Amino acid sequence: MIDVRFLLLAALTALTVVFVWQWWRSARRRPAEGAEARLRPTFVQLVIGFVVNFFDTLGIGSLATTTTAFRALRVVPDERLPGTMIVGLTLPVVSQAFIFIARIEIDPVLLVLMIGTALAGGWLGAGLVSRLPRRPIQLGMGVALLVAALFMTIAQLNRMPVGGTALALHGGALGLALAVNFVLGALIMLGVGNYGPTFVLLSALGMDPRAAFPIMMGSGAFAALLGCLAFVKRRNQVDQPALGLALGGVPGVLVAALLVTGMPIGVLRWLVIAVVGYAAVVMLRSGARGG
């Protein structure tokens, strides 16, 4: 029988090799002089990489925290910030995907289908979603996540049934999960994070919270790798801070992954509640600011 997870990891490895090769070629074409010619990351850049990827592995997300740190320290010009972040954060996200896909038990067919629908949503839904108003979506999802975090807290306090420990979905539950995940993949094109909603979705369907991690990280890794190939081709990144994110980020991922995979289920559920609450606050703040 074909090992679906092995094939998934093999595809991830192949894409990673192509990405690293293209990034190396891009870095070789950097200017001979000037700030962009420096490749060795600073200590601060390495620390930022470690910290943001540590929390990203816990489900907090890394784009908002990296943006805040880079803008506060004026690490790169704003127009180069998206490319620098995506390129620099991709290898840590790939590390997360490898760890969680390999170590966390989940139905491999469900894993492939969820990753596939998220990527399809991002690709097919990009044109449609780009015409939708971003602010109402952020405000609506922020409120929905706050309500979900409240109900999850009540359940964790044994005031109502809590999410289950299932590792697979079937029938209508599977169809619902794939449909919602397609929409979440499309909403990523608006900059709406999918970690919090994915936790809520799988918990509501009775799945083990750990099952969300390979789905989230696998979707993120494949999407980031495909996107990075375009970024490095156009040299939209500044290599020095991007390397800081990558080299500092991988150790941060390893440390955090040990916490997640070894965490008791009760503690993990509280972590999920914290992540969902954080995602809600971030979306509401972004929606209130109109960006």
Task: Write the pLDDT tens digit of every residue in 226-258.
Answer: 777 777 877 778 889 999 999 999 999 999 888
> What are the tens digits of pLDDT across the range 256-278?
888 887 778 777 778 877 877 87
Residue 57: pLDDT band with limits 50, 70, 90? confident
Instruction: Return the structure tokens found at 176.
Output: 């619902």
- As a whole number of angstroms, the distance between CA 107 and CA 130 comes to 33
Q: Residue range 189-203: average pLDDT?
A: 75
Q: Which domain holds residue 216?
A: 4-289
Q: Give pLDDT, residue 141.
A: 66
Find, among 78, 54, 51, 55, the residue nearest to 67 by Cα: 78
The CA-atom distances, in angstroms, between 211 and each of 217, 256, 288 are 11, 16, 32
Q: Give pLDDT, residue 30.
A: 62
Question: Residue 147 pLDDT more than 90?
Answer: no
Name the residue with higher pLDDT: 120 or 195: 120
CB 57 within 8 Å of CB 104: no
pTM here is 0.78
The CA-atom distances, in angstroms, between 80 and each of 86, 94, 186, 231, 266 are 10, 22, 24, 10, 41
Q: Residue range 172-199: average pLDDT?
A: 80
Q: Quickly tell me which residue has 């907090």 as its tokens.
A: 60
- As a whole number of angstroms, the distance between CA 139 and CA 142 comes to 5
Residue 32: pLDDT band with limits 50, 70, 90? very low
What's the structural domain count of the chain?
Answer: 1
Q: What percent of the chain has pLDDT over 90?
A: 23
